[in-house]
Chains A and B, each alone.
Chain A
Amino acid sequence: MVGSCSLPHDAPMAPQTLSTQRRTRSLSPLQSRRAVPTVIDDRALRAHVLRRLSFGARAWQVEELEGTSPTDLIEQLLGAEPFWPDDPVLGSDDDYSRLPAWWLDVMSDERAGVHDRMIWFWHGHLTSGLDKASPSLMYRQHQLLRTHAMGNFRSMLQEITVDAAMLYWLDGAGSYAGAPNENYARELMELFALGHGAGYTEADIRSAARALAGWWVDGDTDDEVRFDPDSGPTESLPFLDRSVASASEVVDAVCDHPACAPFVAGNVHEHLVGAWPEPGRLDELARVFADSGLEIRPLVEAIVRHPSFLEQRLNRPRSAVEWFIAVRRLFDLSIDWWPLDLLGQVPFNPPNVAGWSGTARWLSVGAEMTKAQVAYDNAWETATLDEGDPVGDLLGRAALYEVGQPTLDVLWQAAGAVESRRDRSTLLHGLLAMSPEFSLA
């Protein structure tokens, strides 16, 4: 049980929550007013839970939940009704700007919780993108993910295999069994369901490609997906030690493959916990997932109810979208999403079929420059901070409860270097957005 005073052994050493250890400096009388707890308290844990199971913590949420233990908060979030946002207004089909903006607003909504978190995960896992599918088809796919995000993996995979956006994205549309396009067949196994090196062969890919052929998107009837028997498979094909003659049988064979449950379970764990599970833990989770018939909810519950979920804090960088939403929230501004293009994470437009895999991509010099531009240019309209304790006020607004001494020193130094209260607020907001602690998920 993670209580208010226990810092688990294998968790990354979180920095102390400041104040009493601050070195005495003569910079400003402002400093002496700062007073916050020195232990990892439930607020830090609640903020962690909200960061991982929704799209970030708000200060008022963390405060309002006073008395709610982190584990109770996890249960609250798991039990919450899914959020069904209003449809986006898409505009014309060549207007690519609205859909990413719409999703960012949905993610920023306080009703967006675990269900929305998992929609975002599946988008990065079962990828399609605006560079090959129209906004309306991408939204149709989004609704598919929204329907299945906490439901059944097999059903979701069956449907997305013949989803119009996916048929365009991975070239299934118009593939002809006589000389099929192999793109979807390969990625279905490598990236969506089994993992590279899971034991399938090039011959399996060729068979699957033929069995998956025949589907197309009818532009004359509102992009209805149709099957053309003349282009489809004409015989049963050997695939993963069985025989298949349709897309549906290919997906079933993939879902029944022993590599499927561990591969998917490991990926969900990595997303929520920030690290691939240890082998023993992966076996447990794969069993939960497989025994439930590939139901996603029991898998998510098993992941987040485990002590490791609360222990593994501050162990991965914020992705660009997570950082961006956090800045918009801290600045209380609806900043236009274009910087996300430079940061490499536009919702509905993953960079490639592997989505935004790994976390190293979020730590680059280029990203620092773009983030500095966002932080500097938008800090002018932020809240004016408390006169006596601007740093404490700022950290509270950011729902940051684990901040190290070096960062506090930088913020206090900056606070003391500016005369006007407004300029001080601007500078502190801009700098906090660039601090190491603000970069962590």
Chain B
Amino acid sequence: MPATPARITRRELLKWASAGAGAAAVGVGTYAAGRSGTPSASGVLAAASDPTMAPASAGQRPRSPDGSVAVTPTAPSPIAPVQSPVDVGQRLLVVVEMAGGNDGMSMLAPYGQGAYYDLRRSTAIAATDVLALDDEVGLHPALTRLHGRGAAIVQGVGSFDSDGSHFEMLARWWAGAPSAGGIRDTGFLGRLADVIGDPAAPAVALSVGSGATPAIASRSASTVAIPGADAAGYLAGAGDDDPFRRLFQEGFAAFGTGASMFELEARIRGLKTQSAAFASVLDGLAGEEGDGGYPSSDLGQGLRLAAQLFAGEQGVRIVHVPMHRDFDTHDDHNGRYPALMDDLDTSLNAFLDDLAARGLSERVLVMTTSEFGRTARDNDSGGLDHGTASNALLVGPVNAGRFGEHPSLTDLDDNGNLRATVGLDQYYATVAEGWFGVSASEVLDTGATAIPGIF
């Protein structure tokens, strides 16, 4: 049978590629220094931090008196309602993007149904291994800390006319448009930034990734994409003691001014101004020693930056963190998926600890997204092809428990896939209304309403 080469993931490749580059960072480090060595095959994940956490913060807090949350929690919930006492104007959001297509039935396994084991001949999680939430479903075995802390799980999220293309479905998720032909010129998070953000802030929404993602494309608010905070010192912060670097920075900032002769030039000049402004926000962050308990993964590092920026109170309200991991498990799903959940669990755990230490726990909501789930039935490569509905997590000041209805495992669609029970726009409406007190109609054009009971 076919031989499979040892897999070096992109992440490992890049870890190796950039080893040391991050540390060279600010000042006059150089890229030209020769590097050698081989990719580190050792895990991307740092040692797990203390797993003996208390579950999600006190459920006994009084409801916020301003009550600007538009949705009345009425749905049955296994745990008493948790209300953040924080004014909606102070609330913050982190979006963890699992691009590639996260298998909802591996993150939340419906182990109580025999049909799950009929469909998943090689990729099901044994009932004895799941971290049971009740007698029907349980979390992936790697999500131990999250299981202890509790989360709101939104089941069956997707599109009612799903498409099998990563790119089409990512575009719909970024835009907040569940069907073909919806809004595409701005992203849901960008529009949310328009509504909740300070128009003068250097950045209201930030994406911690290398490219300008459409997810944060806005109409008016400043939204920014960066790979990390390391290189900010090139564009901001040079003082009198570093006159040469200051001239470079002044020249760079000056490229942002001046009349433009055509549209693209104007866009580039705007980018110069925006870059200089946001670099100075990043440059102002206090340097922090050590790893802070975070793993070195993109997710861990993105969450750490989010915590620092939130604590810095410079106007960043939304941080979008693509995990940049291989969720697209067409083969060897069971060999690949546990590392993804381990990264999620370890990173979120460190983040929640960090937020608590910074006094931000009540202000930050984490939501997960993925363009689609995977096929109900596994293929003969021990993998799962592109599917439809998936499950999503909301972590932070939420009522822990299951929301929405788990898709049926027996009533599949014409392509043999799960039928979504919650539209992605409804999931977004829940966050807009329930968390930020922003009417869904301000940021979505589908008439979606919030799922009750989560906040």
Contacts and interface: CB of A to CB of B under 8 A. Distances in A.
B232 A179 contact: no
Given A134-B5, A173-B4, A202 B255 contact: no
A341 B258 contact: no
A202 B164 contact: yes
Given A365-B226, A414-B247, A94 B264 contact: no
A218 B3 contact: yes
A365 B278 contact: yes
A373 B2 contact: no
Contacts of B255: 406-407, 410, 431, 434-436
B18 A338 contact: yes
A272 to B, nearest CB: 17
B236 to A, nearest CB: 9
A200 to B, nearest CB: 11
Contacts of B219: none
A277 interface: no
Interface string A116-128: 0000000000000
Contacts of B252: 372, 431, 434
B5 A366 contact: no
A366 B210 contact: yes
B165 A15 contact: no
B165 A196 contact: yes
B380 A179 contact: yes
Contacts of A373: 29, 31, 231, 234
Contact of B275 (A14, A96, A368, A378): A368
Contact of A431 (B31, B248, B257, B415): B248
Interface in A309-365: 314-317, 333, 335-336, 338-339, 341-344, 346, 349, 351-354, 360-361, 363-365
Interface residues of B, number: 86
Given A181-B381, A344-B210, A364-B225, A186 B265 contact: no
A181 B232 CA distance: 44
B8 A180 contact: no
A27 interface: no
Contacts of A378: 30-32
Contacts of B358: none
Given A96-B17, A365-B275, A366-B210, A15 B381 contact: no
Nearest to A426: B244
12 contacts: A12-B261, A14-B262, A94-B8, A96-B16, A190-B165, A316-B264, A365-B226, A372-B248, A410-B251, A411-B251, A413-B254, A435-B255
Interface of B: 1-5, 7-10, 13-14, 16-18, 21, 28-35, 38-39, 163-168, 180, 203, 209-212, 214, 224-228, 230-232, 234-235, 244-245, 247-248, 251-252, 254-255, 257-265, 267-269, 271-272, 274-275, 278-279, 328, 330-331, 378-381, 383, 385-386, 414-415
Given A96-B13, A341-B17, A369-B230, 6 more contacts: A15-B261, A131-B10, A174-B381, A182-B379, A335-B31, A364-B224
* Shortest Cβ-Cβ A-B pairs, 3 listed: A406-B258, A219-B3, A216-B2
